[in-house]
């Protein structure tokens, strides 16, 4: 029986701080600053940023490259303008 080595998985993960990949901290910082600027209240800013941190940490626990895969999918297959009319992506004009 072959034993799994945690070394290989650790070498392929992106660097993280606080359970969140470092690249995702930039997005979380933007969300936090925008919430603080729009609400002009640190309490409301924290009430918006803390659940966003929990959501990013949950997603990163399951797949550290979740947001990169999601962004790549949106770049490769952008939503069609007439998706609401057809109930899905369609290249037909009507």
Q: How confident is the model over 23-82, as pLDDT tens digits?
A: 888 888 999 999 999 999 999 999 999 999 999 899 888 888 888 888 888 788 776 777
Residue 85 pLDDT exceeds 90 = no
Please state whether the predicted TM-score (pTM) of the whole model is above 0.85.
no
Give the sign of the dihedral formed by CA 30, CA 32, CA 35, CA 37: negative
DSSP-assigned beta bridge partners for residue 21: 16
Distance CA 74, CA 27 (A): 17
Residue pair 20/59 in contact (Cβ under 8 Å)? The answer is no
pLDDT at 91: 65
Distance CA 29, CA 35 (A): 10
Distance CA 38, CA 10 (A): 39
């Amino acid at each position: 029986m072959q034993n799994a080595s945690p070394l290989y998985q650790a070498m392929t993960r992106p660097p993280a701080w606080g359970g969140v990949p470092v690249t995702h901290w930039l997005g979380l910082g933007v969300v936090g600053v925008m919430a603080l600027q729009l609400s002009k209240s640190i309490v409301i800013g924290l009430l918006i940023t803390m659940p966003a941190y929990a959501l990013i940490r949950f997603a990163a626990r399951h797949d550290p490259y979740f947001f990169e895969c999601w962004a790549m999918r949106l770049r490769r297959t952008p939503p069609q303008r007439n998706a609401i009319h057809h109930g899905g992506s369609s290249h037909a004009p009507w």
